[in-house]
Amino acid sequence: MNFELLAQLTITGIVLGSFYALMGMSFGIVYQTSKIFHLANAIPFAAAGFAAVWSAETFHLPMFGAFIVGLVAAVIVGLLILVLGYFPLINRNATLLSLFLVSLGVTVAFPNLLQIVFGTQNKTLQVYGADGTLNRAFETQVYNVGFLTITQLDIVKIIVCWLVVLCVVLFVNKTRFGRSITALRTNPTMAAAVGINSKVVYIVVFAIGSLIAGMGGLFVTTEFVAYPTMALQWTLIGFIAVFFGGIGSLPGTALGGLLLGLLSSWSSVWLGVQFAPVVVFGALFIILLVRPQGLFGKAAA
């Protein structure tokens, strides 16, 4: 083990952890408000990637335009799941388990629909110029600082992820609407008493969650490729960040995500890189065993 490697892995861990935090935000805001185990959060993630690739190829949109299309698609798909899938069951006072099963069904079906429609090939995001000419596949710049290296995309990723974390936390804690979210989460009866429309809150929360999931999908598509089953592992990482960091605490979720990223990166000093997922799942298992409310969560009253 040497210092340089550890330092470099720390940077990698921060990049990874920032992304985990982003995914944690996406699921966290949905889960803490609605208590739905929203596995189908994977769908806006993949939808954003495919919509971006598809729109870039079809309309020769520049990268920014393709991203917008991707995010819009993510929000639309996320809201469709809420309105068509969850609302009918919520109206019926169905159990959380049946909501989860709906989520599961959608999650199983969607990647296969993507495969049927778009084929099985991995989709690379083509970068078109503003004039509609094809530049090339996306490539990022590499910076060297001393013995450390970091790519431009990673820097962008860190900034965007933490900006999103900040925005979500500020939105929930500082805005009028954000307070309705907190109100609904902490005291549903009282929220109804002051006239908060829980459906409206759900719609906004799912829109935000899906938007963030879509951003995640775009990052993966840009750095790597889009493929039908791209989302599930990242969605689960989001879940783990939430439960690891602490339920009901968005900053806790973000920190939990960061910590998981660092853990999985550092673990490769001692273990092979293929052990990283085992480390993440193991960490979750231990946390649930010794501290069920999560690292930064408050114990349930």
Partner 1 sequence: MAYYGQIAINILILLSLSVSLNLLLGYAGRVSMAQSILFGVGAFTAARLVLPQLTDKYNANVSGVGYGMGWPWWAALLGAIVVTFIAALVISLPAVRQVKGEYLILLTLAFQLGGQQVMTVWEAVTGGPFGVAGIPAIKIGSMSFSTVKADSTVRFAILMLIVTVIVIAVCWGIGESPFGRLLKTLREQESVLPSVGKSPIRPELLTFGITAGIAGGIGALFAFSQGAMTPVNFGLDLSILIVSVVVLGGVGNIFGTIVGAIILGGLDPILSNTVGADAIPWRAVIYGGALVVMMMVRPQGLIPEGAFRRFKKGKTTEEMTPAEAMESLSRVSATHEVGSAPALEVEGLKKSFGGLVAVGGASFTIAEGKITALIGPNGAGKTTIFNMITGTFKPDEGTVKLFGQDITGLSVVDIANKGIARSFQDVRICEQMTVLDNVAVAVPKQAGEGLTNLVFRPLKTRKVERATRERALECLALFGISDKANDLVGELSYGDQKLVAIARLLATDADVLLLDEPTSGVDPANVEGVMQGVRRLRDLGRTVCLVEHSVHFVQQLADRAVFLDQGIVLAEGTVDELINQQELADLYFGS
Partner 2 sequence: MDGTSVNSSDGNLLEVNDVTAGYSKRRVITGVSMNVKPGEIVGVLGHNGAGKTTLLKCIFRMLSIESGDIVFDGASITKSSSVKTVASGMSFTPSERPIFRDLTVEQNLELGAHSVRDRQAIKDRMGEVMELFPILGERRTQLAGRFSGGQQRQLSVGMALMVQPKLMMLDEPSLGISPTVVTKTFATIRELAAEKGMSVLIVEQNVKAMTTIADRVYVLRHGEMVLEESGDAARERSEWWHLF
Partner 3 sequence: MNRMRMGRTAVAVGVVAGLSGLLAACGSSSGSGTSSSAAAASTSAAASGSTSASAAAGTCINEIFGAGGPEAGQGVTIPAGMLLAVTGQGSFFGKVMSQGALLAADQIKEAGGMDYQITVADHKSGDVPTAITETKKLIQNGIEVLQTSYGAPSEAIIPIIQAGGVLTFNGGGSSPAQLSQDYLWMNRMVYAEDPAPGALAWLHKTYPDAKKLALIGTMENGVGTFKETAPNIWKKLTGGEVVAAEQHDVGTTDFKALAQKILAANPDVVQTFSFGDDLGYQVKALREAGYKGPIMMDEFTSQAAKIAGSAYEGVNFGVDFYTPANPNPWNQCYVKAYKAKYGEDPEYYGSNYYEQVFIVWDLVKRVIKAGGDPTDAAQLQAALIADPTFNSVYGGDATTVGKVTLDTVDHSISKPMGVFVVKNGQPELIQEIVKIKAGEDPNSALK
Q: Rule CB under 8 A: which residues touch partner 3?
A: 2, 4-5, 8-9, 12, 15-16, 54, 57-58, 112-113, 115-122, 124, 126, 134, 136-137, 139-140, 142, 144, 149, 151, 220, 223-225, 229, 265, 268-269, 272-274, 276
Residue 128: other Cβ atoms inside 10 A: 20
Query: What is the longest distance spanned by two Cα atoms in the chain?
Result: 61
Q: Please tell me the distance from the alpha carbon of residue 257 to that of residue 25, in angstroms, as a whole number.
A: 9
CB of 76 to partner 1, least distance (A): 18
Question: 151 is in the binding site of which of partner 3, partner 2, partner 1, none (Cβ under 5 to 8 A by kind)?
Answer: partner 3
| 130 CB-near residues (< 8 Å, 6+ apart) | 62
Instruction: For residue 244, give the nearest of 234, 259, 223 by alpha carbon.
Output: 259
Residues 236-265 interacting with partner 1 (rule: CB under 8 A): 236, 239-240, 243
Task: Note whether 100 binds partner 1 by CB under 8 A.
Answer: yes
Query: What DSSP state is assigned to residue 227?
Result: -
Strand positions, DSSP E, 81-123: none
Q: Residue 62 forms beta bridges with which residues?
A: 128
Neighbours of 95 (CB within 10 A): 10
* Binding flag, residue 149, partner 2 (CB under 8 A): no
CB-CB contact of 80 with 110 (8 Å): no
- Rounded to whole angstroms, how far apart are CA atoms 115 and 105? 16
CB of 151 to partner 3, least distance (A): 5
Give the three-class secondary structure for 211. Answer: helix
The one of partner 3, partner 1, partner 2, none whose footprint includes residue 186, by CB under 5 to 8 A per kind, is partner 2
143: which strand partners? 150
Instruction: Look at residues 193, 173, 233, 163 and name the one whose alpha carbon lies nearest to residue 29.
Output: 173
The verdict on 273 binding partner 2 (CB under 8 A) reads no
Of 104 and 193, nearer to partner 2 (C-beta) is 193
Report if residue 278 touches partner 2, rule: CB under 8 A. Answer: no
One character per residue 174-193, x = contact with partner 2 (rule: CB under 8 A): --x--xx-xx--xx-xx-xx
Contacting partner 1 within 25-54 (CB under 8 A): 35, 37
- To 10 degrees, what angle do helices 198-223 and 232-245 make? 120
Integer Cα distance of 232 and 39 in angstroms: 8
Site residue total, partner 2 (CB under 8 A) = 15
Q: Are the C-beta atoms of residues 207 and 80 closer than 8 Å to each other? A: no
Residue 143: strand, helix, or coil? strand
- Min separation Cβ 118 and partner 3, Å: 6
CB of 293 to partner 1, least distance (A): 10
CB nearer partner 1, residue 222 or residue 249: 249
User: Which residue ranges make up the site for partner 2 (CB under 8 A)?
Assistant: 176, 179-180, 182-183, 186-187, 189-190, 192-197
User: Which residue ranges make up the site for partner 1 (CB under 8 A)?
Assistant: 35, 37, 85, 88-89, 94, 96-98, 100-102, 104-113, 115-116, 232, 236, 239-240, 243, 272, 274-275, 277-278, 280-282, 284-285, 288-289, 292
